[in-house]
Chain A
Amino acid sequence: MTVREIKQQLGLFLCWGDEKLEHKVTGGYVGDLLSDVMANSKAGNVWITMQTHVNIVAVAVLKELAAIIIVNGRHPAEETLKKAAEEKVPILSSTLSAFDVAGRLYFLGVGKARADAERIPD
């Protein structure tokens, strides 16, 4: 699934995304601690977060994340949008919570392959 398809399926608001919306999303990561996201997110993930400040863009660039989804109706700061445009990092927002965005992404099959692979047999 691409960033554009996720935007449409979840009804996300596109804060910045003139480019790179056709990138394939490999899964997702939820986190508000930047070091945690640096350590544990994977390339091509969408990053679901409440953080809106400019430093989220550098994390997304360094980890080659597909997009940032800001939740709970928050909006990125002005300098965040400016940096996102410079670095070409799509930023989307939603009024949903992180739990609901992640849940809907799973429902759409994003991250499902990994969940299946890691399922503990009962």
Chain B
Amino acid sequence: MSASFSRSFTIEGRDFLNAGRASTQIKTILKELSVDPAIIRRVAIASYEAEMNVVMYATRAKLKFTMSASAINLEIDDEGPGIPDITLAMQEGYSTATSQMRELGFGAGMGLPNMKKNSDEFVIESAVSKGTRLTMTIYIN
């Protein structure tokens, strides 16, 4: 058996119909591997919020899921508008969602804070007009 398990997903911006698919597949994998349900819940929330941000704001992204004996890692690298002020974006309740997105129940300003809350390690890097890269690690033990 290899030391780690890895899988990549492509997420398309504006593809609301398939939004959540990568997170659902990751969840299925973790269940099959009999990971602790509490850990699965945290990974599901973190990956779903990341996926929705790509669908809402970016052109596309690659989501790389890696699992080792000690941790689960989610790396989401998008091509998109980037975030000019990360401190502001990390504030609960702050959102740049359109009124149309808000009507659908998005744009609560909880996405990035939820990701941070559910990760043991959370790194966000962004370049305006280029994209955003999120790295989230959740320890298994």
Binding site for B on A (CB under 8 A): 32-36, 38-39, 43, 49, 51, 53-59, 61-63, 79, 87
Q: Please determine whether A62 and B108 come into contact, CB atoms closer than 8 angstroms.
A: no
Chain B contact patch, size range: 20 to 34
B106 on interface, CB distance cutoff 8 Å: yes
A55–B19 Cα gap in the complex (Å)? 7
Q: Does B48 sit within 8 A of A, measured CB to CB?
A: yes
Q: Are B105 and A32 in contact, with the CB atoms below 8 A?
A: yes
Query: Given A55-B20, A62-B23, A62-B24: A34 and B44 within 8 A (CB)?
Result: no
Task: Tell me what chain B mostly uses at the interface: helix, strand, loop, or mixed.
Answer: helix
> How many pairs of A and B residues are in contact by the CB < 8 Å rule?
66
Where chain A touches its partner, the secondary structure class is helix
8 contacts between A and B (CB under 8 A): A34-B104, A35-B114, A38-B45, A38-B49, A39-B117, A55-B19, A62-B20, A62-B48
List 10 extra interface pairs beyond A58-B23, A62-B48, CB under 8 A: A35-B106, A36-B108, A43-B37, A54-B17, A55-B20, A58-B21, A58-B24, A58-B48, A59-B48, A62-B44
